[in-house]
Amino acid sequence: MSIYTVENFTSDITVEGYIAEFRDEPHFLELCKQCTNYGKSWGCPPFDFDTESFLRQSGKTHELKRFNKVVYQIS
């Protein structure tokens, strides 16, 4: 008998919905500029392409968030 259960939760969102509701590139770009890795890693800005166009090109639905809920069984 298991002493706990794990529930997985995910939420899907379109690329357009993600851009409209959650993306704030100017704000986060300023935060990135304060990091010592800015411009030193392939995964860090500045990029040599338009990031919004890159996101829009797929147009697919993506998983926005995922979290697990652990419920312990107390006997």
Instruction: Tell me the per-residue pLDDT of 3-27, one tens digit each, with 9 for 90 and over.
Output: 878 887 777 788 888 888 888 999 9
Burial 16-48 (b: 16+ CB within 10 A, else e): eeeeeeeeeeeeeeeeeeeeeeeeeeeeeeeee
Q: Quick count: other Cβ atoms within 10 Å of Cβ 55?
A: 16
Global pTM reads 0.57
Tokens found for residue 74: 């107390």
Residue 75: pLDDT over 90: no
Query: Would the pLDDT of 68 be above 80?
Result: no
Q: Could you tell me where the beta strands, DSSP code E, fall in 1-75? A: 4-14, 61-72
Q: What is the mean pLDDT of residues 65-75?
A: 72
Specify the pLDDT at position 64: 62
Contacts with 52 (C-beta within 8 Å, 6 or more apart), sequence order:
19, 23, 25
